[in-house]
Structure 1
Amino acid sequence: MAEDERGDLRWGSIPGLVRAAAEQYAGLEAVVDGRVRIRYEELGERVERAAAACLAAGVEPGDRVAVWAPNSLDWIVSALGAVTAGAVLVPLNTRFKGSEAAYVLRRSGARLLFVTGTFLGTSYVASLRRAAAEGPGTGPLPGLPDLRDVVVFAEDAPETFRTWTEFLADGADVPRAAVRVRADTIRPGDPSDIIFTSGTTGSPKGAVITHAQTLRCYEVWSELAGLREGDRYLIVNPFFHTFGYKAGIIACLMRGAVMVPQPVFGVDTVLANVAAERISVLPGPPTLHQSVLDHPTRDQHDLSALRLVVTGAAVVPLQLVERLRAELKIATVLTAYGLSEAGGIVTMCRRGDPAEVVAATSGRAIPGTEVRVTGPAGEALPPGKPGEVQVRGHNVMRGYYEDPEETARTITPEGWLRTGDIGVLDEDGNLRITDRIKDMFIVGGFNAYPAEIEQLLGLHPDIADVAVVGIPDPRLGEVGKAYAVRRPGSTLTSDDLIAWSRREMANYKVPRAVEFVTELPRNASGKVLKTELRARRASLA
């Protein structure tokens, strides 16, 4: 029997999970979004109405539906509604510029897009319209020929787009039975989402994850973390990221926890929410927890309900773990390691692990999976020896969307996913990540990929050659530094290039430092020697 067709999946699919949660936890609070508070029964009803509207809009099983919006109740309802209608969810990074979002929409062939209106002073609708104004399409955005419908989370929308209210109204005549029939056709092995992630080639690739994989991975996550019914979970991690969507929304649905979405990270807002909503669960990158601990007015907020923190995505200082336990009296502090290609989770610490293990490692392989460290020839290495981290099991993606060649390079014939990360296993199987083969660095919890940034910087008319590496930053962990070669006669300055970058790419990708050089160090085959650049890198002053 195929792994995805096993009969012991409790919910069968994400729509099955939503329906079960609406019934089992009907009277419990489900989502708190500003002044709006809804219970699980109402959440289930809203998701079904959104699914009905998707059916009315012509969404068919397997169609890709994208969401480009910050954390909110509307994100939760639209995403789960689309998946309930049989669609494959494509979350878009809210830090994207219009051209970056258009690339993912085009690459995925998205048929329907839910988009926020204005967020952080930027009109996402205007940004996207500029990026996709020209092309062969006859739909709302000519540059995106597959996109037939755009729904805006706002009170008004441009001509050819619809508001969220109008979209829901258009599905009012679709009977509930039709929604249930559609949801019941979804099989555990069907794709549930495509998470786009960049790699060494610089172009984002879509990791295809199934319903069964999502359910198994986050049932495991919920169990290892100790998530409980009635927990109040502040979801600061963005929903477009696996950590926010699956360790957040999906995990809460499984356990009957309360979702409190926060659209933007701001430590003042975090402190206010934790106190006002009696938050008990606060996952996030180490920078979030460090900011909470160091805030000058921390003691003026009642943080006593906090009991569970799960972190990762960067080196976690031992002092941070000890301070969370000692100063905030948080009973459970865990670290984990994952990547989109493995459903977002590969290893995780266990409750009861000593602080030294939590801080120095990312824990052990989750149940039902294997983790190994390999040498240059693909041979398994013993504990204590660094090599490439590989994982095999139910969490490994089905492949990159419509990219068999890249899939074959990433997943071995034996089913091992090559993560591109370098790590070391200890005698107990705990994994410590030591470097990144793919050169990725992490800016405040966001993965930044030098190859992608280099491609964008290369579009500047005064740049002849460029390489990007990560450098230490006391607040964000790491930030980008660009080594650039100017074109002859150019007077481009560092400030000029950084300002240009802020207009052309998501903020976390923007280099914080630029050093102009006459040429980049390269080996005999022409490859940039980034080890040499890292050797001379320096932190920002």
Structure 2
Amino acid sequence: MGANRANSANGADVEWDSIPELVRGAAERYGEREAVVDGRTRVSYAELGERVERAAAACMARGVEPGDRVAVWAPNTLDWIVCALGAVTAGAVLVPLNTRFKGAEAAYVLGSSRAKLLFVTGTFLGTSYVASLRRATTEGSGTGPLPSLPHLREVVVLADDAPENFLTWKDFLASGEAVSAAEVRTRADAIDAASPSDIIFTSGTTGRPKGAVITHEQTLRGYDIWCDLAGLREGDRYLIVNPFFHTFGYKAGIIACLMRGATMIPQPVFNVDTVLANIAAERISVLPGPPTLHQSLLDHPARDDHDLSALRLVVTGAAVVPLQLVERLRSELHIATVLTAYGLSEASGIVTMCRRGDPPETIAATSGRAIPGTEVTVVGEPGAPGEVLVRGFNVMRGYFEDPVGTADAFTPDGWLRTGDIGVLDAAGNLRITDRIKDMFIVGGFNAYPAEIEQLLGLHPDIADVAVVGIPDPRLGETGKAYAVRRPGSTLTAHDLIAWSRREMANYKVPREVEFVTELPRNASGKVLKTELRDQGRV
């Protein structure tokens, strides 16, 4: 295999063997320092540790055993932090669900992971997640709260009210009072560093979500490195706009703050006015997120009405980062550290990262170099584009209960196939140039055409369809669908987009639809996506 390769020295061992040990250590080390600010609620690290242990006790009381999967379907809140870390402290494997999912999408992940317990928000953005899930799971023979999900024994609603057969958050916590702190400590201490800590579901080229299994050791080692490279430190105040269901929010957010004693300020919905208000009111110093977040901040007409002087660290990625954006963050907002990074769920969310002191051109044009303990290689001639492969401590153990998918994800000599096309420069900096998987990124969210095409194909008037990403000035990219109607159909673009909004997460919904008589295909019948993308950019 011809390759251009960047090697990085092995990272040092971290001081924690498990996430519960990290939580307990943070409670002891940072004590009365503010851990979480959620609206009017302010919780110290000592209080957070107590809340997590109480949630862990309740998980144990409700029958959660080591290795059981526990899902969370909720926005960024203190309750998300507590129930997720509580489940992991009880030995469970965390399965975060995308808050943009519709009921059927959530049900698929719950069924595939065989989740035993689900924490779900009440009403969020005008939608009842419970009602959505119930509609999608009415058929089945299961005896639990959702008939078509027989493995799901309990559903806890993170609210004061819950439907019949569901638990409220208060009642769930009360059920753990019979479990002692010593029992919780014993359960937590038995967790091995090599045990799975979470399963992050990500869609592949087949359109069927697959769960990347990541261990405690991989998470802790990867984000200790992230903290060091970013320069996160005790006393930082971190506005977490990145969703907790994503590694950028959970691991580069919650886990990183626990490691360094930074204060977490979760924001459930991205709204630039709220971001500005939070930065000023809470003296935010750290603001990671996709480029669209920072662009919106810079361009907001009321920006100068807010005191943004505490901001000192920005980490971005997940899309092309304009050089002008890096320069404006430094010159207009006087942010000392602006870094870019690259990762994917199958590699613990972190593969390469820029270093402090890198010139703006490197930060804007590349995603930095391999993190310590990993290798990045590009197949092909040095300096030429090729598929990006990764090897190291951060690479997943495999897809959950999917040996075929796992085997396909690796080369015969053990490199993870990322499905991305990139170029390595002489210094080992990686620049992503294209995506084999045709994935595109909508405002920081990964959108997978094959999955969207499968959903669109369920419409009774659609005979054939292909989806590609096209440029969008606000979101970076959005989806465009090229669709073939069934004979006699009068389906309009407006009709299909409206239908899509009911059936799939908003970021997956095509913003444009063009009806064609047939899709362009090559001799083997494969849709010529490059041709469609070129048309979409005209």
TM-score bracket, normalised by the shorter chain, equals: over 0.9
Q: Which residue of 1 aligns with 2:274?
A: 269
Distance in 2 between residues matched to 1:291 and 1:529, nearest whole Å: 34
Q: Which residue of 1 aligns with 2:8?
A: none
Residues 210-246 of structure 1, C-alpha deviations (whole Å, 9 max, x = no match): 0000000000000000000010000000000000000
Distance in 2 between residues matched to 1:321 and 1:9, nearest whole Å: 31
Residues 264-317 of structure 1, C-alpha deviations (whole Å, 9 max, x = no match): 000000000000000000000000000000000000000000000000000000
Residues 372-405 of structure 1, C-alpha deviations (whole Å, 9 max, x = no match): 0013xxxxx31x1100000100000000000011
Distance in 2 between residues matched to 1:136 and 1:334, nearest whole Å: 51
Residues 353-381 of structure 1, C-alpha deviations (whole Å, 9 max, x = no match): 00000000000000010000013xxxxx3
1:168-207 mapped onto 2 (5 Å cutoff):
168-207=173-212
Distance in 2 between residues matched to 1:9 and 1:314, nearest whole Å: 30
Q: Which residue of 1 aligns with 2:4?
A: none
1:69-88 mapped onto 2 (5 Å cutoff):
69-88=74-93
- Correspondence for 2:140 among 129, 135, 145: 135
Residues 10-67 of structure 1, C-alpha deviations (whole Å, 9 max, x = no match): 1100000000000000110000000000100000000000000000000000000000
Residues 417-469 of structure 1, C-alpha deviations (whole Å, 9 max, x = no match): 10000000000000000000000000000000000000000000000000000
2:120–2:155 CA contact under 8 A, matched in 1:
yes
Q: So what's the TM-score if we normalise by structure 2? A: 0.97
Residues 305-338 of structure 1, C-alpha deviations (whole Å, 9 max, x = no match): 0000000000000000000000000000000000
- Correspondence for 1:211 among 186, 209, 216: 216
Q: Which residue of 2 aligns with 1:390?
A: 389
1:302 aligns to what SS in structure 2? Answer: coil
Q: Which residue of 1 aligns with 2:503?
A: 504
- 1:507 Cα offset (Å): 0.2
- 1:8 Cα offset (Å): 4.2
Distance in 1 between residues matched to 2:476 and 2:534, nearest whole Å: 18
Q: Does 1:403 align with 2:402?
A: yes
Q: Which residue of 1 aligns with 2:62?
A: 57
1:281-430 mapped onto 2 (5 Å cutoff):
281-375=286-380, 381-382=381-382, 384-430=383-429
- 1:413 Cα offset (Å): 3.3
Q: Which residue of 2 aligns with 1:440?
A: 439
2:468 aligns to what SS in structure 1? Answer: strand
2:423 aligns to what SS in structure 1? Answer: strand
2:356 aligns to what SS in structure 1? Answer: coil
- 1:259 Cα offset (Å): 0.2
What amino acid does structure 1 have at the position aligned with 2:450?
A
What amino acid does structure 2 have at the position aligned with 1:422?
I
Q: Which residue of 2 aligns with 1:531?
A: 530
2:14–2:224 CA contact under 8 A, matched in 1:
no
Q: Which residue of 2 aligns with 1:248?
A: 253
Distance in 1 between residues matched to 2:14 and 2:229, nearest whole Å: 18
- 1:414 Cα offset (Å): 2.3
Q: Does 1:111 align with 2:110?
A: no
**Whose relative contact order is higher, 1 or 2, with alpha carbons under 8 Å and at least 6 apart?**
2
2:452 aligns to what SS in structure 1? Answer: helix
Distance in 2 between residues matched to 1:422 and 1:266, nearest whole Å: 32
Q: Which residue of 2 aligns with 1:3?
A: none
Q: So what's the TM-score if we normalise by structure 1? A: 0.97
Q: Which residue of 1 aligns with 2:448?
A: 449
2:13–2:221 CA contact under 8 A, matched in 1:
no
What amino acid does structure 1 have at the position aligned with 2:401?
E
Structure 1 segments (4+ residues) deviating >4 Å: none
2:387 aligns to what SS in structure 1? Answer: strand
- 1:136 Cα offset (Å): 1.6
Distance in 1 between residues matched to 2:282 and 2:13, nearest whole Å: 36
Distance in 2 between residues matched to 1:413 and 1:222, nearest whole Å: 33
CA distance 1:57–1:245, change in 2 (3 Å): same
What amino acid does structure 2 have at the position aligned with 1:14?
I
Distance in 1 between residues matched to 2:321 and 2:127, nearest whole Å: 33
Residues 459-511 of structure 1, C-alpha deviations (whole Å, 9 max, x = no match): 00000000000000000000000000000000000000000000000000000
Give aligned pairs, total: 528
What amino acid does structure 2 have at the position aligned with 1:497?
L
What amino acid does structure 1 have at the position aligned with 2:496?
L
Alignment RMSD, CA only?
A: 0.9
Q: Which residue of 1 aligns with 2:101?
A: 96
Distance in 2 between residues matched to 1:532 and 1:82, nearest whole Å: 47
Distance in 1 between residues matched to 2:508 and 2:40, nearest whole Å: 34
Q: Which residue of 2 aligns with 1:10?
A: 15
Distance in 1 between residues matched to 2:60 and 2:511, nearest whole Å: 46
Q: Which residue of 1 aligns with 2:518?
A: 519
What amino acid does structure 2 have at the position aligned with 1:530?
K
Structure 1, unmatched stretches of 5+, are 1-5, 376-380
Distance in 2 between residues matched to 1:400 and 1:91, nearest whole Å: 15
- 1:7 Cα offset (Å): 11
Distance in 2 between residues matched to 1:145 and 1:224, nearest whole Å: 44
- 1:525 Cα offset (Å): 1.5
Q: Which residue of 2 aligns with 1:431?
A: 430
Q: Which residue of 1 aligns with 2:24?
A: 19
Identity over the aligned pairs, expressed in percent?
A: 83
Distance in 2 between residues matched to 1:423 and 1:291, nearest whole Å: 28
Q: Which residue of 1 aligns with 2:3?
A: none
